[in-house]
Chain A
Amino acid sequence: MDTTADTEKGIAELQKENQQLAEQVRRLVAAENELYRIQSKLDLKLRLYRQLYEVSNQFNATFDLDEVLQIVIQFVLYELNFERCLVLLPTLEGKAFQVQALDGYYTDGEQEALSKFQLSATEPALLPLITKAERIICPANCDQEALRELGHRFHMDEYAILSLGGKGEEPIGLLIAGNSAEMAGNQERVEAEGEAIISLANLANQATTIMKNLRFYQASKRFVPEEFLEFFQKGSIVDIALVIT
C-alpha cells in the first residue's frame, strides 16, 4: 500500500518537475527566438555598413557625375531595396530641380515622362528642405495631403526626399527613394525611423561630398593647367603639397 502511494507520489513529483523544466525550456526558446530576431537585425546593419563602404570606394574611383548618380541609384534599388529612385539636380537658372537620373520599376510611359520631370525650388512641400532640413519623409500612412500629392507626381505612394547638400546648407540636389502602393509589400518600407532611411542619409552625405568635389574639380579645370589636374589625380597629398610650396 505504502509502495503504491510512494510510487504515485514519485510520479507526481516527476510530473511537476517535468512541468517546471518544460516551462524553463519554453522561456529559453522564447529568448532564443528573440536572439534570432535581434541577430538578423544586426546582420542587416552589418551588411549595409559593408555595402556603404563599397559605395564609398566606388565614389572615390570616379570623376564622372553620371557614374556617381548611377552608383547612388543602384544602391537605393538593389541594396536598400526601394522600388523607385530619382536624383534631381538644379536647373541652370537654379529655379527648379530637374531629374538627372532615375531607375526602378516604371512603365515605359512613366519613365519617359519622369525623365523630364521638374520640381520648382519654391514648391511649398519642399520648403523644409530649402530651409535646410535634411529630409522629408512621407510614409504610407502620411496624413499630409501636400506630401501625398507631391508623391503622386513622381509615382510614389511612400517616399523619402533627401537633400544633397549637407546639414544646414541649401541642397545641390535631391535624392528621392520610395515605392508605389502596389509594390510596397515586396520592398523596403519607408519608415521615419527605419534603418533604410539612416542608410539613405549616409549615402546622401557621401554623394554630397563627392558631388562637391566634382563640382570643384570641374570648376578648377577652367583655371588650372591640365597637367596640374592630371598630377592632382595621380599624385599623393605630399607631392601636391611640395608642388604648391
Chain B
Amino acid sequence: MTLLTDLADAIIRGDGPRVTALTRQAIGQGMPPKGILDDGLIAGMAVVGDRFRVHEIFLPDVLLAAKAMYAGMDELRPLLVREGIPSIGKVVIGSVKGDLHDIGKNLVGIMLKGAGFEVLDLGHDVPPERMVETAKAEGAKVIGMSALLTTTMPVMGEVVGLVRAQGLSGTVRTVVGGAPVSADFAREIGADAYGFDAANAVDVVRELVGRR
C-alpha cells in the first residue's frame, strides 16, 4: 500500500490522528500538496461518498470521515495557499428562509468539501437576497438550497428568480434539495438542478461546474 492509498484508507476509516500523521509524512517526503489532496484526502472521501450512496455506510461514518479529512486539510491548507492552488469552485449553501432544518444541508456541505469545493455555508433561515448577494460577492458558481418544509419550498423559487433578475443565470447555477423537493419542483421553479440526496448533490454540483 502506498502512502497515499494508506492516507485514503485512514480517511475511509475516520481515523483522524492517522490522517494527520500520514499527511505530515507525505509533506515531509516532498509530495506535491495537490497530489496529497487529490490522491489521498479527496480519493478517500470519494470512496466514502460511494459507500454512502449505496447504503453500505451511514451518515455518522461520513461525518467521522469528514472530520478526519479536516484534520488532513489543517496540515495541507498552508501549503495549498502558499502554492496558490485554488479550490475546484465555490458553492453557497443554506436552508431557505423560514426553514430551520439543516441536517441534510450540513451533510451536503461536508461532502462538497470532501470533494474539493470551497463551501460557504450560510446556515438556516437564509433570506434569498443573502444567498444571491453572497454568491455575487464571493464569486460562487453554485447556490445550493435546502428545505424540509413544504411551506418554505416557494422561497427556492424566489432565489432562482433573483438570480435571473440580477442577470446571473449564466454564472451562478442553482441546485435544490430536501425531503419534500422533487425534480419536477426544480423544473417548475426553473432551478438548474435537483439533488435527491447529499451524494447525488455533489455529482450534480460537479456537473454544473463542468468538473465531471
Q: Do A and B interact with each other, yes or no?
A: no
Which residue numbers of A lie inside 8 Å of B, CB to CB?
none
Which residue numbers of B lie inside 8 Å of A, CB to CB?
none
